[in-house]
Structure 1
Amino acid sequence: MFAASPFANHAWFKALIMAIAALLALPQSVLAQEVDEDRSRALQRIARSGDAHISVDLYADGAPTAGETWMLALRFTPSAPEWHGYWSNPGDAGLGMQLVLDLPEGWEAGEALYPVPKRLLIAELMNHIYEGEYAVLVPVEVPANAVFDGIPDVTGTVEFLACTDEICVPQGAVLNAGQSGDFARWRAEAAPMLDAQGTFAIAGETLRIGIPLPESVELPEPYVFIANTQLVEYAPFQNFWRDGDRLVVEIPLSEFRSGEADRIEGIVSFGEEAGVRFVAKAGEVAAGGERLVTMNSAEGATPPLWSLILGAFVGGLILNIMPCVFPILSLKALSLARAGGSEAEARAEGTAYTAGVVLACVALGGTMLALRAAGEQVGWAFQLQSPGVVIALLVMAAVITMNFAGLFELPSVDTGNNQGRSAFGTGLLAAVAATPCTGPFMAAALGAALLLPTPFALLLFGMLGLGLALPFLIIGFVPALRKRLPKPGPWMETFRRFMAIPMGLTALALVWLTVQLGGRGFALFALVMLFGIVLALFVVGRLQQAGKMAWPAFGLIAAPFLIFGAFALPYAYAPPERDLSASLLEPQAFSRATLAEARASGQPVFVWFTADWCVTCKVNESVAIEREATAEAFEQAGVIAIVGDWTVRDEEITMFLTEQGAAGVPLYLWYEPGQEAEQLPQVLTSEMLAQRTLRDR
């Protein structure tokens, strides 16, 4: 190239060319030197750490064949049972294996194949581990034109972490492949790959994966290990549905994730170290199927079914004296008054009322389960998180108030004939209005209902309704109790009018709740619509008193206001932000990050979950939480207060409640430094929190 140049014979030109060549070669030599230095440092580090706690050996599955896959294996052997290693995605803590192999030129190592890992929860940190001896397979693609004699000399290094429940030690080893090894057993232990590909979709803060798994595969303890790091939360519940040859799992997404995944890999564990690998691409994950189980890695299995049934029944019975029921005592009192009639009427009254309560509880529970199966994060009392439902209840409360006051007659809740239909409607309304909050025994049963197959879950909701209706059912069928009640007479009309007062207060409470849910403008438009309905009912009452046809007038007057509400309310909906500055405890708004930061501070933490529609919550706050004595005790002990407002649907709070085995509010959690959550009673006394604060100080 340079021979044709007129400068080729000049010594200075040759020197220049040599200098340029040296400069061009310098980066490669420096890079090679850096690689050698990094490798040297790695070998020195491995030599220092050694494999004292978990030894590792590299094996080859016989001699390779050109153009085929050659299998290597790393066998890890703990020195004692307390030491464990980690899966490729170690979970919240730990470290995956770091492997470097020196293979012949053109040979490529594939993705390592692991057995099904186990779960180990330490201080709310989920670890994906292996206990005892285990092997990791490494497939190697051998080129078709490869030339070799026998087993090639394969060396390398591996670094990993060996841990007990208390300490972790970095480990490493210099590898040199040997020929022997139990590859038949190691291949059988590695999780096989499914032939078909799955799909995944993200719904809010939840990852939904559809995995093609034959219906014949039994799933006693399903759990999905996600290989993608920092994509999902590892410790919370996983929800499973089975629809023929498709398994659907829901897993909460991690708040630390970055970007969107286009491919998800993982292992579906069936329990007892059995499972399969899967790959899922972004696509549609249809809802539906039979609910299987929700695994709680912290809590374990659900209690026996008989204890859950008893808990639901007793919880419904106790609900009769819970503050949640106070606003509808007028309905119950009126039913008691009616029970003083004939024996047949009393039995019909008690049976119809019970049927209404049980049907409402089963319907609410079934709707909640259906919404959760469709990917919605809802919990018990979800109906009062919906502005539309609250407005409907507001209209009902106003209508019943006017009826009780005698402004018009409505046979379905009248004290005249049609008592069975009246009691049934009363039962429906009683259940809808009385079950937003959870009480003793009821919380555990409803939390377990989220874990059980649908038929058993509906059974628990039915038993809850039976417990709620039991006092009135007994009165209807026990003459001795009915004899103690006042006999029917003119006093019942006066009593009914008096009961309009608490029902009217319920309507006012629902107006306040409408403001909390949708803002003042939303509530104002709701009141305009309600005014039209009330005006129409007032006209109906006047026409009824005059003996004229009344209900067509109701349609003519109310229709414009109803149309106005249908169009105006959706545009006026604007949920207000909760003002935490008014609280004496100066709480922080709940989030997982806030809770984690508070617990890491080394101070006690008190977390309470509330809602503006939960009467029990508000009673507890006035009696025990928002008190000067509680605030002073918290300040002295350095307690960090956190509040979760569930008035409006919040997926993060819903999922956290589910993880704690609670289907609704109130829920009170106390965290001592370095300890797990302690659930406090759902009914708080005035000194409970102050005493709890100072108990261990």
Structure 2
Amino acid sequence: MLRLLLLVLFLAAPGLAAAQLGKAPKDLVRARLVSEAATLAPGRTVTLGLHMAMKPGWHVYWRNPGDSGLPPEMAWRLPEGFSVGPTQWPAPERIPVQTLMNFGYEGEVTLLVPLRVPETLPAGGTVPLSGTLSYLVCEEICIPGSAELALDLPVGTTTEPDPAQARLFTEARAALPEAAPFPIRATREGENFSLHLERPSGAPALTNAAFFPYAESALDNAAEQIFASGEGGAQRLVLKPGDSKIAPEALGGVLTFDEAGTRKAYAVGPEPEAAPAATAPVPAPTPAPAADSENLTLWSAAGLALLGGLVLNLMPCVFPVLSIKVLSLVKQAGEARARVRLHGLAYTAGVLASFLGLAGLLIALKAGGAGIGWGFQLQSPVVVALLAYGLFAVGLSLSGVVHVGGRLAGLGDGLTRRAGYQGSFFTGVLATLVATPCTAPFMGAAVGFALTQGAGVGLLIFACLGLGLALPFLALTAFPGTLSLLPRPGAWMETVKGALAFPVYATAAWLIWVLAQQVGPDGLLGALGGLVLVGFSAWAWERARDAKKLGTGLGRVAAALALVGALALAAALDGQRAGAAGVRLAGSEEPFTQARLDALRAEGRTVFVDMTAAWCITCQVNERTVLNREAVQAAFKAGSVAYLKGDWTNQNPEITRLLENHGRSGVPLYLVYRGKGEARVLPQILTEAVVLDAVKSEKLAAR
């Protein structure tokens, strides 16, 4: 039964990741890019529309999604000199989801975006406009999706309207919040906010009043909003504050209500400062020469991949698995040298097969337009859960709760007559799977190079990476005489075997923490329930071995049912993705968007960009040991350094594009910008001195 769980994990994980990282079904959201103008003219501004039509019962989100969700976001690809302004959002609807309250749109919605045309644009010809629209569409489950949108517009001497789109844009503008024709002010009354509407006496009665704050956590979104009328047309809407401790005078948002059968929407209070969606042209990011994957040759990239694979053996995610396999060699020290060498070859074959399988899937998905990179399978909650279950099962085996064959790390024992070699092969598979959260030095440029070449070159680079990971164990088995340096087999091995269970348990616990960032509390509860079922399945299977015939059958049925239940709970996790990102922001940090980065660079600011993920061990170590240190934070503050953090825990095409622009295929990535200058790429393993030197150098250069 344990072998079955591990086989499901090893063989199904990449496919599950591929299935879940694809686009949402096209019938859920039909998106298109439209223009109010049929032609462009130099120096003029025209309005574009991002039109989304949702399947009945499904919805997308407003700029503030409420208690969960993510707003649609467009990553523009514009010709030089063009720029777009802030998105104009129609008034949303309140969408209750069990105990939560979300803000969004059902049916259809058109987001309006102003496009500024450069003065120098020559008349004649056609201008291509395009971008990637990312969104989260929800019913009872939520599915992230994206759409590649494009529009070609001719250039003339005047801007001509497009009659075919006139109705769409008229309706879209009618749905935008207007300036209120009467005073609206917010006050604090006891524990609540009151939104006072000073309407003229005798004004028509209003119903269904609702307020949508711009800022997340400004209000308790799910709390009832109570409307009360007073004398002389005075009316107020009572609102329950949220966790942000916002002052009433800073409370901004959109007020909607029905008046004489017509829905009204008014803008209230200040809007939060927002960077425009794009600014004046900013030079494309250019990686530092030392890390520029475009400057690599095939052989230098292969050498870096080999070195990166070697270093992976020292990473905390891989070392426990390698230690278990080395311990198994102690028992084989007295065997024939040819047999020991075959174990090394089987382990290497498992590593190479896994690396090539993951690489082939990654290359194929990227060729199909998916915005993914190294570690992409860990963006799938189902894969993270299965990996945690598999490691938990390995820990149980090491702890003696369940016995898998007679060999240590014999994950595949009993599959064939030559069980030991199968065990070595599947240990190589496991080592590969647990290595993917880590990025070692030398890996970044090599993997980035691999994904910009043809499939054959890419697979060769990944094979070198796998060979580097397998090389220490392969070398140990290639020279069996070195095994004589290890202690003789004895009772101490059981003690060491039991001790090695705990770093494996720790890795499983860390994966459950990653899962909590991806699926939230409800999903975490289901994952923990699956973990309990895996433990019960292992226990029941082991007990059935010692039972009589009837008991053996019942025990195995119970174990099988528990395992099926665990897999079902894991499969359900994809529908419980948390709306928010998995990486928490500290007070000085801002969430990364390309628009915000462009705006800060246009202002001449120094910007530190941190591309991270909850499942990236290297990222977490760098943050805790370097970036969160008092000296680094003080240097950021003293130099007025903007700190943008990009969260790649779940799929994010905008972050993937930035990684690719710098020749990277995975996180971490650390960049320092000085205004519109080129980015300085920092090492993937940070030290306090490296960060301080980069920030101070950029600060001095900016003067």
Q: TM-score, normalized by length of structure 1?
A: 0.57
CA contact (8 A) 2:320 2:500 kept: no
Which runs of structure 2 are paired with 1:189-204 in the superposition (5 Å)? none
CA contact (8 A) 1:338 1:415 kept: no
CA contact (8 A) 2:582 2:649 kept: no
- Other-structure match for 1:91: 79
Question: Could you say if the C-alpha distance between residues 345 and 605 of structure 1 is closer, same or farther in structure 2, counting changes exceeding 3 Å?
Answer: same
Bigger relative contact order (CA 8 A; separation at least 6): 2
Distance 2:537 2:582 in 1: 38
Does residue 529 of structure 1 match 2:530? yes
Select 2:343's aligned residue among 343, 349, 363. Answer: 349
Question: Could you say if the C-alpha distance between residues 591 and 339 of structure 1 is closer, same or farther in structure 2, counting changes exceeding 3 Å?
Answer: farther
**1:332-383 Cα shifts (integer Å, max 9, x gaps):** 5535545634223321221111111111111111111111122211111001
| Residue 537 of structure 1, CA deviation | 1.0
Matched residue SS, 2:643: strand
Question: Could you say if the C-alpha distance between residues 370 and 413 of structure 1 is closer, same or farther in structure 2, counting changes exceeding 3 Å?
Answer: farther
**1:205-235 Cα shifts (integer Å, max 9, x gaps):** xxxxxxxxxxxxxxxxxxxxx94344359xx
Select 1:667's aligned residue among 666, 669, 677. Answer: 669
Does residue 228 of structure 1 match 2:222? no
Which runs of structure 2 are paired with 1:14-413 in the superposition (5 Å)? 91-93=79-81, 227-232=126-131, 261=150, 301=294, 303-326=296-319, 328=321, 330-335=323-328, 337-338=330-331, 340-342=333-335, 343-411=337-405
**1:460-500 Cα shifts (integer Å, max 9, x gaps):** 11110000110000000113422222233332222211111
Question: Could you say if the C-alpha distance between residues 451 and 415 of structure 1 is closer, same or farther in structure 2, counting changes exceeding 3 Å?
Answer: closer
Where do 5+ consecutive residues of structure 1 fail to align?
Answer: 1-88, 96-158, 162-169, 173-225, 234-251, 255-259, 267-294
- Other-structure match for 2:599: 597
- Other-structure match for 1:583: 586
One-letter amino acid matched to 2:297:
P
Question: Could you say if the C-alpha distance between residues 611 and 335 of structure 1 is closer, same or farther in structure 2, counting changes exceeding 3 Å?
Answer: farther
Distance 2:538 2:608 in 1: 48
Question: Could you say if the C-alpha distance between residues 689 and 472 of structure 1 is closer, same or farther in structure 2, counting changes exceeding 3 Å?
Answer: same
**1:248-288 Cα shifts (integer Å, max 9, x gaps):** xxxx999xxxxx6566899xxxxxxxxxxxxxxxxxxxxxx
Question: Could you say if the C-alpha distance between residues 607 and 262 of structure 1 is closer, same or farther in structure 2, counting changes exceeding 3 Å?
Answer: closer
One-letter amino acid matched to 2:490:
G
Matched residue SS, 1:228: strand
Does residue 569 of structure 1 match 2:569? no
One-letter amino acid matched to 2:339:
E
Question: Could you say if the C-alpha distance between residues 228 and 550 of structure 1 is closer, same or farther in structure 2, counting changes exceeding 3 Å?
Answer: farther
CA contact (8 A) 2:302 2:464 kept: yes
Matched residue SS, 1:391: helix
- Other-structure match for 1:81: none
Matched residue SS, 2:650: coil
- Other-structure match for 1:676: 678
- Other-structure match for 1:454: 455
Distance 1:681 1:615 in 2: 15
Distance 2:630 2:401 in 1: 46
Select 1:631's aligned residue among 633, 641, 654. Answer: 633
| Residue 425 of structure 1, CA deviation | 0.8
One-letter amino acid matched to 2:593:
S
CA contact (8 A) 1:338 1:346 kept: no
CA contact (8 A) 1:630 1:689 kept: yes
One-letter amino acid matched to 1:544:
R
Distance 1:541 1:227 in 2: 71
One-letter amino acid matched to 2:380:
S
One-letter amino acid matched to 1:307:
S
Matched residue SS, 1:619: helix
CA contact (8 A) 2:330 2:489 kept: yes
Question: Could you say if the C-alpha distance between residues 579 and 391 of structure 1 is closer, same or farther in structure 2, counting changes exceeding 3 Å?
Answer: closer
One-letter amino acid matched to 1:644:
G
Question: Could you say if the C-alpha distance between residues 608 and 262 of structure 1 is closer, same or farther in structure 2, counting changes exceeding 3 Å?
Answer: closer
Question: Could you say if the C-alpha distance between residues 590 and 391 of structure 1 is closer, same or farther in structure 2, counting changes exceeding 3 Å?
Answer: same
Identity of aligned residues (%): 36
- Other-structure match for 1:148: none
CA contact (8 A) 1:316 1:468 kept: yes
Distance 2:154 2:295 in 1: 29
- Other-structure match for 2:141: none
Matched residue SS, 1:663: coil
One-letter amino acid matched to 1:407:
V
CA contact (8 A) 2:546 2:552 kept: no
One-letter amino acid matched to 2:664:
A
Question: Could you say if the C-alpha distance between residues 487 and 683 of structure 1 is closer, same or farther in structure 2, counting changes exceeding 3 Å?
Answer: same
Distance 2:545 2:509 in 1: 27
Distance 1:564 1:482 in 2: 40
One-letter amino acid matched to 1:692:
A
| Residue 605 of structure 1, CA deviation | 0.8
Distance 1:660 1:551 in 2: 57
| Residue 551 of structure 1, CA deviation | 7.5
Distance 2:548 2:402 in 1: 12
CA contact (8 A) 2:324 2:497 kept: no
- Other-structure match for 1:620: 622
One-letter amino acid matched to 1:510:
L
- Other-structure match for 1:181: none
- Other-structure match for 2:424: 423
Distance 2:131 2:608 in 1: 26
Distance 2:623 2:409 in 1: 38
**1:397-455 Cα shifts (integer Å, max 9, x gaps):** 11101101111111396467732111111110001111233222211111011111111
- Other-structure match for 2:236: none
One-letter amino acid matched to 2:359:
G
- Other-structure match for 2:281: none
One-letter amino acid matched to 1:476:
T
Question: Could you say if the C-alpha distance between residues 543 and 640 of structure 1 is closer, same or farther in structure 2, counting changes exceeding 3 Å?
Answer: same
Distance 2:689 2:369 in 1: 41
One-letter amino acid matched to 1:636:
A
Distance 1:535 1:265 in 2: 67
Distance 1:355 1:229 in 2: 48
Question: Could you say if the C-alpha distance between residues 528 and 535 of structure 1 is closer, same or farther in structure 2, counting changes exceeding 3 Å?
Answer: same
**1:98-150 Cα shifts (integer Å, max 9, x gaps):** xxxxxxxxxxxxxxxxxxxxxxxxxxxxxxxxxxxxxxxxxxxxxxxxxxxxx
| Residue 562 of structure 1, CA deviation | 2.8
**1:537-595 Cα shifts (integer Å, max 9, x gaps):** 112222335586858634434426634762782585131524877526x1111111011
Matched residue SS, 1:608: strand
Distance 2:403 2:429 in 1: 19
- Other-structure match for 1:15: none
- Other-structure match for 2:690: 688
Distance 2:584 2:468 in 1: 40
| Residue 514 of structure 1, CA deviation | 1.2
Distance 2:481 2:154 in 1: 67
CA contact (8 A) 1:309 1:445 kept: yes
One-letter amino acid matched to 1:365:
A
CA contact (8 A) 2:333 2:480 kept: no
Distance 1:171 1:493 in 2: 79
- Other-structure match for 1:63: none
| Residue 663 of structure 1, CA deviation | 0.8
- Other-structure match for 1:610: 612
Distance 2:295 2:693 in 1: 31
| Residue 628 of structure 1, CA deviation | 1.0
Distance 2:285 2:582 in 1: 33
Question: Could you say if the C-alpha distance between residues 571 and 462 of structure 1 is closer, same or farther in structure 2, counting changes exceeding 3 Å?
Answer: closer
One-letter amino acid matched to 2:364:
A
Distance 1:419 1:589 in 2: 49
CA contact (8 A) 1:436 1:614 kept: yes
Matched residue count: 436
Question: Could you say if the C-alpha distance between residues 622 and 332 of structure 1 is closer, same or farther in structure 2, counting changes exceeding 3 Å?
Answer: farther
